[in-house]
Structure 1
Amino acid sequence: MAESSKQELVQLIKRFGAYLTVKISNLLPISLQNLDLRSVGAIAGLAVAIVFTWRLLRSPSQPQRREPKRQAGTPGSSGVNTHSNVSLVPPRVSSSLEDSRAQNVVDEFFQSVKPTLGQIVRQKLSEGRKVTCRLVGVILEESSPEEIQKKVTVRSSVLEVLLEITKFCDLYLMERVLDDESERKVLLALEDAGVFTSGGLVKDKVLFCSTENGRSSFVRQLEPDWHIDTNPEIVFQLARFIKYQLHISPVRSERTAPNVFSAPALEQFFGCV
């Protein structure tokens, strides 16, 4: 590699560091408490170095031109060489071009390694194998047991995430209901939405109780890695017993414990919107 190419590579590597950090944080909106980035960083660093080297080696080096012999100035010439093919690039413009080139290389790299939704779900859940989740306000549009007596609507925006969770987690859905008819409506709505077709979730894992404390009791008996709920009191009570919890609330709330996270919606926690 020519000396100029080596210097160019050094300059590019110096400039891509900060930009690479930003790309990682935007690409993987994952809490550092839930994800060990050492392996990701090692792979990313190696891959970017390979990309840089490949791009530099792929570009044929410009042959050095022999400077033409200096000719005597003609009468009327000012004595200044004015070849049209010679241009001087100011240092600031050159630096900007190098920054742009480094960003383009990093963008190309991350476009090729963008993680799938399944990978993001597993990383956000810290590879948890059992998840319990409330239905009302999380999976269902309705926000109370009284509402599901009238109708039950599964939120379409949450289905993709829900099905990804069932692929590698033992998922239990639960809700407080006021009558048997509400249970029937919930199961029918989940079936119509295709929740049971993936094979990861069966009707026996949809649990119903008559009180909020009953749902809390279900969670403690199942001992999940994650519990997802909308009731702040239940989240607070379970914080001592459950490894991680996700509090779904449209209003941003203060973090009550280090193992309790919050999001306006389940799909937003996984960066789907």
Structure 2
Amino acid sequence: MAESSSKDDLLQLIKRLGAYLTVKMSDFFPISTQNLDSRSVGAIAGVAVAIIFTWKLLGSSNGHQRRQPKRQTPAASSSTYNVGLNSSEPLISSGVCSSSGDLRAHNVVDEFFQPVKPTLGQIVRQKLSDGRKVTCRLLGIILEENSPEDLQKQATVRSSVLEVLLEITKYCDLYVMETVLDDESEKRVLLALEDAGVFTSDGLVKDKVLFCSMENGRASFVRQLEPDWHIDSNHDIISQLARFIKYQLHVAPIKHERAASNVYCSPSLEQFFGNI
């Protein structure tokens, strides 16, 4: 008897899952049975796994219920009262079971359709609005140092920016550039980038590390390359390029007034992509 009841409960749960799933599937996968693709088949297979998981949960729940002792119904004063009480019990039990079954079905399907957290690569592509060429200043963004004079002493790649930088190089044609005062500064920068592992088969190319002797030279590089995005920490350069470049990111610890509607601001490159 208990086994038959368990099968009935399972059948009802599957029916509720089917009804609730129809609504969910129409939101996520607008398909018809005559036009099923591999993605649709994969979704249906996933739902089947969810149903099997629910079956197991229901089985363990029923096993626990069968081990519980039966409750004794208190004796009534008349047979008429007993008949009325016994006839109402199945109705109440059925109502509670139905509500509980609907809740379980909804919970299983809702858990299955929980949104998946996007990867850093997906965030980078979304933030860059499908831009495929990016130019970026080194000082204060990729390097710890903030001035050409600092580069005459040392060059250090910021560890917190590495993951974002590598994701950009996977998806975009990246050029990095900086103003330097001597050849030794150039060597320090290239060595720092190499030691950080930026120059890989899928990473930055050494030939795309550009150097100039004046700040305006960086603006000339950017205009010649015509990138979809330029990233810089110099407000004047950002302002000069605002009408020539589609999008720009101004990286500065202190928030400045936006130079134009196509200029975005962030304290750091990694914070712009939410990677902190």
TM-score > 0.5 by shorter chain: yes
The alignment yields a C-alpha RMSD, in angstroms, of 4.2
Tell me how many residue pairs correspond in the alignment: 237
- Which whole-Å CA distance do the structure 1 matches of 2:26 and 2:272 have between them? 27
Structure 1: segments with no counterpart, 5+ residues? 21-42, 63-72
What is the distance in 1 between the residues matched to 2:173 and 2:76? 91
Distance 1:115 1:268 in 2: 16
Q: Distance in 2 between matches of 1:231 and 1:102?
A: 51
Deviation at residue 173 of structure 1 after TM alignment:
0.9
The aligned counterpart of 1:245 is: 248
Structure 2 distance, partners of 1:140, 1:11, is 53
Residue type at the aligned position of 1:245? Q
* 2:168 is equivalent to residue 165 of structure 1: yes
Question: In 2 relative to 1, CA 204–74 (structure 1 residues): closer, same or farther, beyond 3 Å?
Answer: closer
Distance 1:252 1:50, change over 3 A: farther
Select the residue among 131, 137, 140 that pairs with 2:140. Answer: 137
Alignment of 1:29-178 (within 5 A): 51-52=46-47, 55-56=50-51, 75-76=76-77, 79=82, 80-81=85-86, 86=93, 89=96, 100-107=107-114, 110=116, 115-178=118-181
Opposite residue 217 of structure 1, the aligned amino acid is: S
Whether contact under 8 Å (1:139, 1:155) holds in the other structure is yes
Could you say which structure has the larger radius of gyration?
2
Distance 1:17 1:249 in 2: 45
Instruction: Using the TM superposition, give the Cα deviation of residue 172 of structure 1 relative to its aligned residue in structure 2, in angstroms.
Output: 1.2
CA deviation after TM superposition for structure 1 residue 75, in Å: 4.9
Name stretches of at least 5 consecutive residues in structure 2 with no aligned partner: 1-10, 29-37, 59-73
SS at match of 2:181: coil
Q: Do 1:48 and 1:106's aligned partners in 2 also have CA atoms closer than 8 Å? A: no
Q: Does 1:211 align with 2:214?
A: yes
Query: Which letter does structure 2 place at the counterpart of 1:103?
Result: D
SS class of match (2:113): helix
Tell me the TM-score normalized by structure 1. Answer: 0.67
Q: Compute the TM-score of the two structures, normalised by the length of structure 2.
A: 0.66
